[in-house]
Amino acid sequence: MIQVNVTVQFSDRYYHTNVITHRDSTEEEIFQLALNQVQQQWRV
């Protein structure tokens, strides 16, 4: 497992989040996990 710092854009803003994932995860999988985290946190 590794921790990856990711910046994603959501609702015209940029959010910095951490993702803990397996070493063999692709960049796209990591980005999707980060986006899901931000959406869950900031959804109204």
Question: In the structure encoding, which two tokens stand for residue 6, read together?
Answer: 């990711």
Query: What pLDDT is recorded for position 5?
Result: 97
- pTM score, whole prediction: 0.85
Helix H, strand E, coil C: the string for the chain is: CEEEEEEEEECCEEEEEEEEECCCCCHHHHHHHHHHHHHHHHCC
Structure tokens at 28: 């796209």
pLDDT reported for residue 44: 64
Which pLDDT score, from 0 to 100, does residue 43 have?
Answer: 81
pLDDT tens by residue, 11-40? 899 999 999 999 999 999 999 999 999 999
CA distance 24 to 39: 24
Parse the chain into domains and list their residue ranges. Answer: 2-42
